[in-house]
Structures are given as structure tokens and as C-alpha cells.
């Protein structure tokens, strides 16, 4: 059976990226396409979409369309983007909504930008006679699609058999809006739930989770966690009320970008068979960041958005002593909440030559830290999937992770007795647990053969998209059978 899928996303790497959603959506769309899924991929034609590798042409029959959202009327068209590799994209061209800087913004019409994307995708299916069995939406931006299918577009013969799949990449971002804009989403009155929600607001992710035919998320552990009050972020009840399982499919890694043997960002490359390049990367990273190298000292890296989720505040009180006595050095890259930035700045100031912090987003430095550090720290409070721990494994950099979400699913705690395991996994979201992980890593690092064993175990792991896409295909088939 050929599966036809309407795939709608607010981000798609490498063309337009704000976070992990882009990586997952970009890689998944490519993998589905190469497995023969008949895909229509819809993305807004943002001003900042990287057009350099695209060949663009207007899509016949899909020009100058109109959509009313409340009293606002938008005109839009579709542009087909052909690429050297991967499926064509259908870019939704509406300069009034997408012709501004940034992927996301805080303008008053922000919800129109994503409502239009959802309407446009379904409208295009109807107008071109494309009848998908699966409409795959991602996160709150496109979570309106299941309701649009049920309440407005599902009557069209092309979409009568379509079933929706909503993938949650991060439950922390839900698309809260004032209830007053419910009438601006292009749906019949009452179709969008307002009752019972805080301060008379609507919540687009909640709406999607209620109306989607199937729900998935990006790791098996997170799939369970979001059904519990602790990590359900107010949506666990809606998830439990569905009565079916949330599918958990661990994201893959794009090893064409993240492989130390071929990484173009690195002046020194390496592989499991020859780690001499890793030692040179370590020296180069220390040079670059002004860190003093010392034999036996454990260099711990961190690359992260500096937000509550990532637990960077838990480093306070965890790193000072091992930094002071010279057992560890620390290299951090990231940007985010001022308090977290201040904490990292303060470590760098108090421990010159031992701790360094670079504020901002820097792709090259992210690769250098993955390659040059001995260990990589992720003390996340929650982590739907997480990518850096999987990069670390491939780069021979031992991950120190909290046992949550995708971190728990991708890193196995090392057991010195058996020699099995790929990293250090700690349970609690507190500085004492982080300290324990750091101290354990520093002690194990002293034992060359033990450390080499952890590194070798990690480098053998395979988190490629080949596995993940098979699981999505299976889910698509299950959904298509219901169609």
C-alpha cells in the first residue's frame, strides 16, 4: 500500500530552524520520502527561509487563494521548492504573515500565521485532488489540523478518509491564546474548547491532543511521562482521557552532519579505531577557550538553550569544588534566561583557565565541544528526546544525563562490574545528583581502560533515522488502516 501523507511543520532543517523540531521534521520528511511515502510537505515561506539551495516556481492552480480568519482576510499562494535531495516542499507564500524577520514572533497576529499554514495545507490537498490517509502535524503550531479536518475539511471527498497524527516534540510549548481569538481560527463557533481552561484562554496543543486520531512523541519514556501529572504540564488528563497509547518514537540522528570522521567543522577528525584526532580536538578546544589543559583533568562540555527545562541552574553548588581542586574543567555554550547566563558567567569568572562560557548560538563551537570534551552534561528537568547526548555518544564524549525522557532511552548507565553501559545516568533534578555524576565521571576518567571502555561502547551505538522511520511507517500504516 502506498501511503499518502500531508506533512505540515513550522520548521524544517536545514532551511528554517529554531530548535530540535526542525531537525526531526527535516530528517523525518527526507527518510519517509526515500521509503516511498507519497508526501506533500508544507512549510511557511518565511522571509528568513534559506533559499540558496532551492529552485522555486509557482505551483499551478494554487495561486492567489483567500482565507478569512475572523474579520481578517489573507491572500496566499503556493511555491514549489525543489531540492537536490529530499522531497519537494510546498511553501505557503503569504508575505503579510511570513514576510518578517524570525520564525516565531510576538505580534498580535502570530496565531494567524500558523492557522493559515494549517488551512492552506488542507486546501491544497482538496484543490489538487491529493487524498492523504495521514495528516501529520507537529507541536502546537500545527495542532489545529485535527480540528480543521473534523470540523471543516473532512467533508471534502479528498479528505474524508484522512486521519490525523499529532507529534509532540515538546509539551512545554502549548500555544495559549486569549479566548477572544477563537473566532479567528476559521472554525465554526464552539469547535475550539474554551471552557474550563485557565483565565478563559484557549490552548492549541490541548485542542489538537483532544481531536487527533493518533498522538505520538519523540521517545518512549517521554510518552509515558506526559501522561502523568508530574510531566504532563496540565495536559496529562487530556492524554489519559484519549484511552489509547501515546506512541513514543525516539528521534534519529543525522550522521551526515554529526560524525567525527567526516565533520567539516573539525580541524581534526577521528573515529573509534583512531582517537588521536579527539585528543587534538581537546587541545584545540582548550586553546580556543583559554582553558589550561592538564593530564587527567576531565573536560566537561555543555551546549544548550539556557532555559528551566535544561536544568542549568542545578550546576550551582555541583561544579565549584571539583573545579577548584583541578579535577575538572568546564566548557559551556548557550543562551537563554539571564539567571542561567549569569551563573555560567560567574563560573568562568571565578575559575579562569578552568571554566569557560560562550554566550550565543554557534554551530561550529557546538561541534568543537562535542568533539573536544571528555564528557557532556545534560541535567534536564525533562527532555522529550534530546539530541546532544546521542551526538556525544558518536563523538566519544561520555554523556552525563538525568534519567528522564529520551535521555533515559538513549544512555545506559555504565556498570564497572560488567563493562556494559554508555554513560552516567542520575535520577534527581538537584545539585547533589549532578555533583555525584560529575564526581563519578572524574573518578572513572582516572582509570584509562575503564574510561576507554565506556567511550568505545558509546561510539558503537546507532541512533540513525533508519530505525526511527520504520517505526513511523508502522504507525502510518496502522493509522491508514483506520482510514
Interface region with ligand ADP, contact rule CB under 6 A, candidates 131-139, 228-236, 294-302, 356-364: 356-364
SS3 of residue 278 by DSSP: helix
Decide: is 363 part of the binding site for ligand ADP (CB under 6 A).
yes
Residues 15-54 within binding reach of ligand ADP (CB under 6 A): 19-20
Residues 140-169 within binding reach of ligand ADP (CB under 6 A): none
Among 30, 386, 421, 423, the residue binding ligand ADP under the rule CB under 6 A is: 386
Decide: is 362 part of the binding site for ligand ADP (CB under 6 A).
yes
- Least separation, in Å, of the C-beta of 380 and ligand ADP? 8
By beta-carbon proximity to ligand ADP, the closer residue of 131 and 385 is 385
Among 45, 387, 400, 441, the residue binding ligand ADP under the rule CB under 6 A is: 387
By beta-carbon proximity to ligand ADP, the closer residue of 146 and 406 is 406
Decide: is 333 part of the binding site for ligand ADP (CB under 6 A).
yes
- Grid cell, residue 277, equals 584526532
Counting beta carbons within 10 angstroms of the beta carbon of residue 111, is it exposed (0 to 12), middle (13 to 18) or buried (19 or more)? buried
Residues 277-306 within binding reach of ligand ADP (CB under 6 A): 303-305
The 8-class DSSP code of residue 150 comes to I
Decide: is 348 part of the binding site for ligand ADP (CB under 6 A).
no
By beta-carbon proximity to ligand ADP, the closer residue of 119 and 367 is 367
The answer to whether the peptide bond before residue 406 is cis (omega within 30 degrees of 0) is: no
Number of residues that bind ligand ADP (CB under 6 A): 16
Grid coordinates 500545527 are at which residue?
142
Decide: is 257 part of the binding site for ligand ADP (CB under 6 A).
no
Contact 79, 57 (CB under 8 A): yes
Decide: is 219 part of the binding site for ligand ADP (CB under 6 A).
no
Decide: is 334 part of the binding site for ligand ADP (CB under 6 A).
yes
Among 335, 450, 473, 483, the residue binding ligand ADP under the rule CB under 6 A is: 335
Decide: is 420 part of the binding site for ligand ADP (CB under 6 A).
no
Decide: is 404 part of the binding site for ligand ADP (CB under 6 A).
no
The answer to whether the peptide bond before residue 14 is cis (omega within 30 degrees of 0) is: yes
Interface region with ligand ADP, contact rule CB under 6 A, candidates 135-143, 188-196, 233-241, 383-391: 383-391
Q: What are 54-60's contacts with CB under 8 Å, separation 24+?
A: 54/15, 54/81, 54/82, 54/83, 54/89, 55/81, 55/82, 55/83, 56/80, 56/81, 56/82, 56/91, 57/82, 59/90, 59/124
Counting beta carbons within 10 angstroms of the beta carbon of residue 326, is it exposed (0 to 12), middle (13 to 18) or buried (19 or more)? middle
- Least separation, in Å, of the C-beta of 102 and ligand ADP? 17
Among 56, 256, 361, 420, the residue binding ligand ADP under the rule CB under 6 A is: 361
Contact 64, 80 (CB under 8 A): no
Query: By Cβ distance, which residue is nearest to ligand ADP?
Result: 20
- Grid cell, residue 292, equals 589550561
Decide: is 103 part of the binding site for ligand ADP (CB under 6 A).
no
The 8-class DSSP code of residue 149 comes to I
Decide: is 248 part of the binding site for ligand ADP (CB under 6 A).
no
Neighbours of 428 (CB within 10 A): 13
Interface region with ligand ADP, contact rule CB under 6 A, candidates 77-85, 182-190, 201-209, 386-394: 386-394
By beta-carbon proximity to ligand ADP, the closer residue of 213 and 370 is 370
By beta-carbon proximity to ligand ADP, the closer residue of 116 and 344 is 344
Decide: is 379 part of the binding site for ligand ADP (CB under 6 A).
no
* Nearest by Cα to 475 from 251, 248, 158: 248
Tell me the sheet residues that pair with 216.
167, 247
SS3 of residue 420 by DSSP: strand
CA within 13 Å, CB half, 437: 28
By beta-carbon proximity to ligand ADP, the closer residue of 74 and 368 is 368
Contact 80, 88 (CB under 8 A): yes
* Nearest by Cα to 45 from 88, 93, 83: 93
Decide: is 174 part of the binding site for ligand ADP (CB under 6 A).
no
Interface region with ligand ADP, contact rule CB under 6 A, candidates 45-53, 107-115, 355-363, 451-459: 355-363
Q: What whole-number distance in Å separates Cα of residue 142 and Cα of residue 207?
A: 11
Decide: is 392 part of the binding site for ligand ADP (CB under 6 A).
no
Phi and psi at 278, nearest 5°, equal -70, -40
- Least separation, in Å, of the C-beta of 85 and ligand ADP? 20
* Nearest by Cα to 204 from 243, 225, 175: 175
Interface region with ligand ADP, contact rule CB under 6 A, candidates 220-228, 232-240, 362-370, 429-437: 362-370
Contact 357, 344 (CB under 8 A): yes
Decide: is 399 part of the binding site for ligand ADP (CB under 6 A).
no
Decide: is 401 part of the binding site for ligand ADP (CB under 6 A).
no
Contact 89, 81 (CB under 8 A): yes
Q: Which residues bind ligand ADP (CB under 6 A)?
A: 19-20, 303-305, 333-335, 361-363, 366, 385-388
Amino acid at each position: 500500500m502506498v501511503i499518502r501523507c500531508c506533512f505540515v511543520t513550522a520548521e524544517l532543517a536545514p532551511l528554517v530552524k529554531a530548535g530540535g523540531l526542525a531537525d526531526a521534521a527535516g530528517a523525518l520528511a527526507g527518510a519517509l520520502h526515500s521509503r516511498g511515502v507519497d508526501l506533500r510537505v508544507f512549510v511557511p515561506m518565511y522571509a528568513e527561509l534559506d533559499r540558496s539551495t532551492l529552485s522555486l516556481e509557482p505551483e499551478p492552480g494554487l495561486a492567489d487563494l483567500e482565507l478569512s480568519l475572523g474579520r481578517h482576510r489573507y491572500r496566499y499562494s503556493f511555491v514549489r521548492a525543489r531540492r537536490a535531495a529530499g522531497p519537494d516542499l510546498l511553501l505557503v507564500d503569504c508575505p503579510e504573515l511570513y514576510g518578517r524577520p524570525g520564525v516565531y514572533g510576538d505580534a498580535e497576529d502570530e496565531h494567524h500565521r500558523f492557522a493559515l499554514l494549517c488551512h492552506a495545507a488542507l486546501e491544497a490537498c482538496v484543490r489538487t485532488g491529493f487524498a492523504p490517509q495521514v495528516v501529520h502535524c507537529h507541536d502546537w503550531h500545527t495542532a489545529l489540523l485535527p480540528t480543521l479536518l473534523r470540523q471543516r475539511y473532512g467533508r471534502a471527498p479528498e479528505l474524508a478518509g484522512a486521519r490525523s497524527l499529532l507529534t509532540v516534540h515538546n509539551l512545554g510549548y502549548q500555544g495559549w491564546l486569549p479566548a477572544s481569538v477563537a473566532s479567528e481560527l476559521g472554525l465554526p463557533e464552539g469547535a475550539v474548547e474554551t471552557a474550563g481552561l485557565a483565565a478563559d484562554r484557549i490552548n492549541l496543543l490541548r485542542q489538537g491532543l483532544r481531536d487527533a486520531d493518533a498522538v505520538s512523541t519523540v521517545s518512549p519514556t517521554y510518552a509515558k511521562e506526559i501522561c502523568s501529572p508530574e510531566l504532563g504540564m496540565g495536559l496529562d488528563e487530556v492524554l489519559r482521557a484519549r484511552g489509547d497509547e501515546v506512541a513514543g518514537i525516539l528521534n534519529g540522528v543525522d550522521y551526515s552532519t554529526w560524525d567525527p570522521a567526516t565533520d567539516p567543522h573539525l580541524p581534526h577528525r577521528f573515529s573509534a579505531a583512531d582517537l588521536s584526532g579527539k585528543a587534538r580536538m581537546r587541545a584545540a578546544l582548550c586553546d580556543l577557550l583559554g582553558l589550561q589543559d592538564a593530564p587527567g583533568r576531565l573536560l566537561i562540555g555543555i551546549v544548550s538553550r539556557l532555559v528551566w527545562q535544561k536544568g542549568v541552574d542545578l550546576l550551582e553548588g555541583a561544579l565549584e569544588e571539583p573545579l577548584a581542586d583541578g579535577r575538572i574543567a568546564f566548557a559551556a555554550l548557550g543562551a537563554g534566561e539571564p539567571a542561567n547566563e549569569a551563573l555560567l558567567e560567574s563560573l568562568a569568572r571565578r575559575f579562569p583557565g578552568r571554566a569557560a562560557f560562550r554566550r550565543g548560538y554557534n554551530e561550529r563551537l557546538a561541534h568543537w565541544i562535542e568533539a573536544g570534551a571528555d564528557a557532556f552534561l545534560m541535567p534536564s528537568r525533562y527532555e522529550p528526546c534530546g539530541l546532544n547526548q546521542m551526538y556525544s555518544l558518536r563523538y566519544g564524549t561520555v554523556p552525563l544525563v538525568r534519567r528522564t525522557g529520551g535521555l533515559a532511552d538513549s544512555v545506559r548507565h555504565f556498570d564497572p562490574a560488567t563493562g556494559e553501559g554508555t554513560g552516567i545516568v542520575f535520577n534527581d533534578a538537584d545539585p547533589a545528583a549532578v555533583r555525584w555524576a560529575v564526581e563519578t565521571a572524574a573518578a572513572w576518567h582516572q582509570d584509562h581502560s575503564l574510561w576507554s571502555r565506556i567511550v568505545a561502547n558509546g561510539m558503537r551505538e546507532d541512533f540513525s533515522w533508519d530505525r526511527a522511520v520504520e517505526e513511523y511507517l508502522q504507525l502510518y500504516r496502522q493509522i491508514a488502516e483506520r482510514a
